[in-house]
Structure 1
């Protein structure tokens, strides 16, 4: 039951990621609905504001989540995010003017910022090293499922001839938020956070639970060894930490960790994938697909991402690693966005054009957009969440993941605000920006990103060359359990 239990925990907590994907995806459909446009506006600036205010809320939610995680733990922070999500979703569904809608978007965004930072952090800290890529990659899988459900809900709701067409899909977010709020109560705390706040006995029990020892001496010994490594490293880090933001650049090793974590989140935005996710119907329209056909294509598009992510996290990420998929993804995006730009440049389709879209060019453009989604779902999508949360030591993992996620949302906000304007005003030239971005991504990843697959979170010091010897710090501070103490500790752990 060990791996199955770990998978269940990661999958259930990733309902928070599902909310992220659903809210991000449903707005792409809602923005094109006639009743929504009639009540609010179809101007690109208003559409950009509806999307970017959500992303701005996410930025502030991710910023606050670092402190909340350190103070109250991962589980309570997820509950906090789910509670705020209920509030924001209700405001969006009940909005009667643009001000209420935008405030609801900000509140919901704040909640998603909290969850988008905390869910991969929690999954990272409960995952065994050999399947950490898979368990943390479930974050992206559930984001993709959220987009998929949102696309088909949006497609179906377009046929409702009233404001319910957009209120219903926005209101459906209340269901997963409520489920997450209640269900997370029954999942375990992160054992690493428990050790950090001196709840060591609880942490040991959870490590044994995650290993599913069932009285097996071999499994109990393996669990105890992991607990001791975890305990010693975290206690040593506690002795030298200061809890300041400046810790993220206090040493050369920490600067590298911070740049890698923030970099992979920023580069994920530079891939251009969210332009398709948020404004997909506009892209399909630029290729000659109008009205319901554009929403139908967006729904079909959403199918391929979760399938690609599932294959990747099951069979590739923990074997191939993190760095190679990122390089492959960046190189592929240079090609796909170049082709999309070329198709639109040579076969322009406008709202006033009487010339039908060229079928060959249309197929080529659609194929490249689909390929971009498949490759993203098997590279930057899951790897960005895995890498950003696994590189930091426990003493700075919350604040470091928070800062990295803030970087993600800061660039998400900027791109979501300017994208509808760029798509409307400069057409194919806007895609050339992402050709350049992805070329830069490729060069930086190839030169500076390390490989972290298969390492325990405590072994990341070897990868980044930390100058602090945590074992020595612990021995000088409070002492530690030696290798010969493992069996004795197992015996103690068995006692009621």
Structure 2
């Protein structure tokens, strides 16, 4: 008799409300005291590194624009040329999104991350050895493709293996590693800009592949997703994972029984409606009010994450600082490095808030904070443009550039990384995240290409566009985004689909199980 036999099969029951997670036999508030739970949480650092590369890229490109040797080697790129440099990264991302679901759903979350990490390492090697603009740009396409694969697999992976009551914090922490990557790149470029030679930009370019190399080596120590194992019919392995890491070896733990029943019921029920082809998936996204709402949320969230003014802070800090009189390599690289530290500290703290404040509340307040900050950046830049001797106006812009990242992080860092995997049912999760990244990278291309052109053409007046647009984003979030705080990962579907669809999926699963038993 296997361990699975200790867990009764899920019974059909009406789901009028999302059931609460039962009380465990272990004290999760002191999770570090339990060997297996502690081991899983520490190894979770490996998939958390999945977003590191994206943060490293934006900060590195900010830093390299302040490095004289990089500027001279590539002919001082600006305007459209600089836009192409930065847009190559999300262009690669558009290619990578089509590999997320095939790799993660067919071979598992660990192999999916490994595939993306290998591509990223290849891109970093090409970038470090670039001989000309074309080679540097192609390398950035590879890095964009690889980094979106690891990010697209890493987010649902963490959501699916985290302990239920720690899920919101663990998943929210995912995007905080974007800031960790930003800090690493910022201090790296700050440290290497003094090198008299090409090594001043080749070293940071090579280091972009280091976290991916770490993932390739250590991802095999992280437990596989029990939800993916169930989807492949490997129920014994899925239950063994839950018993070991969520029940500390106790198959009678109420949380383990609850999770296993929910996972098997939901995933087996979803198999009946899951679409295997890409076009079938797109058709399913537009079928039913619940999926249509999910689709609209993913599109609007992708737009908000890229079009709120963050592009000129993430990729074009150097020209903005130059526009307010801060032009030296030392000033720009130091501001880039220290601002990334502020961003990370805020991101870490804000990752603990979704479980208390709610997801929707944090999205809305984040947009309010960004709106205020962009207004202040616009006003300060306008005053400095009138009088270049007005140092107070220039320094005020710098202060609010420091504050922009915390304002953005409040709702669109950890909170966004939690919300998107959470609103998608298992059979749509990796493909849905692929769709989200596709839309996000489309708008990243638009913003990274348009911002340098706008800064060159209309200077500070470009910021006025974002002042107006953030108000529109706020209205969209207010109308579209429901609150998902509280329910288990499987029961978030009730918010979108209602109890009737969930009940039907359970009934379909019970009928299928009874037919197999009778046979």
Residue pair 2:244, 2:250 contacting (<8 A) in 1 also: no
Kept in 2, the 8 Å contact 1:129–1:454? The answer is no
Q: Distance in 2 between matches of 1:368 and 1:184?
A: 39
**Whole-Å Cα distance in 2 between the matches of residues 190 and 478 of structure 1?**
23
- Show the counterpart of 1:414: 446
Compute the displacement of 1:34 (Å).
1.8
Deviation, structure 1 residue 133:
2.2
Q: Is the 8 A contact 1:117 1:402 kept in 2?
A: yes
Partner of 1:313: 351
The answer for the alignment partner of 1:485 in structure 2 is none
Alignment of 1:55-454 (within 5 A): 55-215=90-250, 217=252, 220-243=253-276, 244-245=280-281, 246-291=283-328, 292-314=330-352, 316-348=353-385, 356-454=388-486
TM-score by length of 1: 0.92
Distance 2:421 2:349 in 1: 21
**CA deviation vs aligned residue, 1:220-239 (integer Å, no higher than 9, x gap):** 23212211111111101112
Pick closer, same or farther for the CA change 1:174–1:447 going to 2, 3 Å.
Answer: closer
Q: Deviations over 1:436-464 (max 9, x none)?
A: 22111111111221011222121022110
Q: CA deviation at 1:356?
A: 4.6
**1:46 positional shift:** 1.9
Cα distance in 2 between the residues matched to 1:262 and 1:201: 37
Question: Tell me, what secondary structure is at the counterpart of 1:160?
Answer: coil
Do the aligned residues in 2 keep the contact of 1:10 with 1:138 (CA within 8 Å)? no
Q: Which residue of 2 aligns with 1:462?
A: 494
CA offset at residue 479 of structure 1?
4.3
Structure 2 partner of 1:489: none
Query: Cα distance, 1:7 vs. partner?
Result: 2.9
Contact 1:264 1:387 in 2 (8 A): no
Contact 1:57 1:105 in 2 (8 A): yes
**Residues 384 and 479 from structure 1, CA distance in 2 versus in 1: closer, same or farther, beyond 3 angstroms?**
farther
Alpha-carbon offset, residue 258 of structure 1 = 1.7
Deviation at 1:212, TM superposition (A): 3.9
Answer with 340-349 or 374-383: which moved more.
340-349
User: How many equivalent pairs are there?
Assistant: 473
Secondary structure (helix, strand or coil) at the match of 2:320 reads helix
**1:13 shift after superposition:** 0.9
5+ residue gaps, structure 2, are: 1-33
CA distance in 2 between counterparts of 1:125 and 1:216 reads 19
The normalised TM-score by structure 2 is 0.88
User: In the alignment, is the contact (CA less than 8 A) between 2:96 and 2:148 conserved in 1?
Assistant: yes
